[in-house]
Amino acid sequence: MIITNKQMLILEKMVLSTLVVIMVMTGSRPLTAQTTSATSSQSDEQVLRALVRQENEGKDIIKFTEDSVFVSGAYPRPLIGRAAQEQAQSSRSMANRSVKDEVVRLAVSQSGDMAEEFGNFTLSFDNPDKTHTSFNGSYLRVWRKADGEWKVDAFFARPNES
């Protein structure tokens, strides 16, 4: 999969826009790994890390919000809304799909209802023509906590250049 400079610029603008939205939503305070209560911050961070770990183990545990945004080089446009994401993913044939995420940075907002996660991933799958594809990339995942449950509100991923 080759990403053009124009696609890269669009993706970078979208990531920057998302970060601005996060800062506005958190009262223009920078995201930090600590809240007013270190215990709640640690437990939120531990919960998020556990969700990623379980997803890496093959459990389909990570949930998305109803109006989440999904941006990936696999699709020509961002997928907005969980229904659109589920429809697009069900139409893609990727047998033996495996994704392993490695969290590089995870920060929970002071308010404790938003978090941002940056990391690297390895994606591998079998194509319909029986060839195997595997590549590394990077991602930015924005989490939102509602009713005590963490869900992905925005996800941006791209392959790393060799």
Contact by Cβ (8 Å): 31, 117: no
Give the model's pLDDT for residue 41: 55
- For the segment 122-136, what is each residue's pLDDT rounded down to a tens digit? 999 998 888 999 999
How is the beta sheet containing 114-126 ordered, strand by strand?
79-80, 64-71, 149-159, 132-146, 114-126, 95-108
Domains of the chain: 5-159 (3.10.450.50)
Low-confidence ranges of the chain (pLDDT < 50): 1, 3-38
